[in-house]
């Protein structure tokens, strides 16, 4: 029902020219016009929590011997019918052949512009138009990621312990749910329990485990000396990595 609604909304917007959907696999080129590069959000993932709204930039660099007239027909799209509305572009010539054309994209979780299965890789569709009438268009001119933020806590670490004493380190990993706009358990995810000795600069992985059905993790370790513990989640293609605040254990 949700996806059908999205398609109906998109179809309505297309009627007034507001959003460009990808023409998958169709690329048309005329002459020597090329899209050299596409950069979104300064090359960093767009990261969103459960209620976030934000705007991010995109920059399309295009080239033609006659110079670039414009870059248009911008489409911002992802999997599972993910579509966002871009602004028009403003082009600045870097030299006689190359121009950089920039614009912005806004996204608001509260307006149901994204759903959970849309997190991951997204694409930029664009057409570069040259002064001599040549053009180049691509439905995947550039790629970027829209990812979920992550939250993690560490618990159960005693402030003092004896050398060789076993301790049970616990914690919880959470992720945003873009439909309910709440933090929810991030289940079945690999996490690392890491330790850094006092005076050291390198974290050591002491245990590997997986979060349970409520996002909880736990590991039993023996204290080897004074130092700090932290849980590390390395992230996925759809989720950002996160490390808990370090908690120190002092050997008494």
CATH code linked to domain 151-251: 2.60.40.10
Give pLDDT, residue 237. 96
d(C-alpha 43, C-alpha 145), whole Å: 9
pLDDT score of 244 more than 90: yes
Residue 75 has pLDDT above 50, yes or no: yes
pLDDT of 99 reads 98
pLDDT-derived band at 11, boundaries 50, 70, 90: very low
pLDDT at 252: 86
Domain boundaries, given as residue ranges, for the chain = 2-147, 151-251
User: Using 50, 70 and 90 to split pLDDT, how confident is the model at 6?
Assistant: very low
Query: 27 pLDDT band (50/70/90 cuts)?
Result: low
Mean pLDDT of 125-144: 97
Mean pLDDT of the chain: 91
Same fold: 2-147 with 151-251: yes
Taking CA atoms, 166 is separated from 50, 74, 95, 131, 220, in Å, by 37, 58, 66, 72, 7
Q: Quote the pLDDT of residue 20.
A: 46
Dihedral sign (CA 88, 90, 94, 98): positive
Distances (CA, A) of 150 to 69, 125, 173, 180, 238: 42, 29, 7, 16, 10
* CA 95 centroid distance within chain: 33
Topology (CATH) of 2-147: Immunoglobulin-like (2.60.40)
Q: Is 193 exposed, middle or buried (0-12, 13-18, 19+ CB in 10 A)?
A: buried
Q: Is 17 a residue whose pLDDT tops 60?
A: no
> Tens digit of pLDDT for each residue in 109-127?
999 999 999 999 999 999 9
Question: Does pLDDT of 91 surpass 80?
Answer: yes
Instruction: With a cut of 60, say whether residue 55 has pLDDT above it.
Output: yes
Residues 233, 15: Cα–Cα separation, whole Å:
44
Given a cut of 70, whether residue 182 has pLDDT beyond it is yes
Mean pLDDT within 9-25 = 40
What mean pLDDT do residues 162-186 have?
Answer: 97
pLDDT at residue 9 greater than cutoff 60: no
């Amino acid at each position: 029902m949700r996806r059908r609604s999205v398609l109906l909304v998109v179809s309505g917007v297309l009627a007034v020219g507001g959003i460009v959907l990808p023409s998958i696999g169709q690329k048309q080129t005329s002459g020597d016009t090329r899209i050299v590069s596409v950069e979104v959000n300064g090359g960093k993932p767009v990261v969103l929590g459960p209620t976030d709204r934000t705007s991010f930039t995109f920059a399309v660099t295009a080239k033609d011997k006659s110079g670039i007239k414009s870059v248009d027909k911008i489409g911002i799209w992802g999997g599972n019918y993910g579509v966002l509305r871009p602004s028009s572009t403003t082009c600045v010539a870097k030299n006689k052949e190359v121009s950089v054309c920039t614009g912005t994209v806004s996204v608001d979780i509260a307006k149901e512009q994204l759903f959970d299965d849309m997190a991951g890789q997204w694409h930029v569709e664009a057409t570069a138009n040259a002064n001599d009438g040549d053009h180049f268009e691509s439905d995947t001119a550039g790629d970027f990621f829209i990812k979920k933020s992550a939250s993690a806590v560490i618990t159960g670490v005693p402030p003092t312990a004896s050398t060789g004493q076993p301790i049970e380190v616990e914690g919880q990993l959470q992720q945003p749910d873009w439909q309910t706009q709440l933090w929810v358990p991030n289940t079945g995810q690999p996490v690392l329990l890491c330790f850094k000795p006092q005076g050291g600069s390198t974290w050591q992985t002491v245990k590997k485990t997986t979060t349970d059905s409520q996002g909880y993790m736990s590991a039993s370790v023996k204290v080897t000396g004074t130092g700090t513990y932290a849980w590390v989640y390395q992230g996925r293609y759809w989720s950002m990595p996160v490390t808990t605040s370090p908690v120190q254990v002092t050997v008494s």
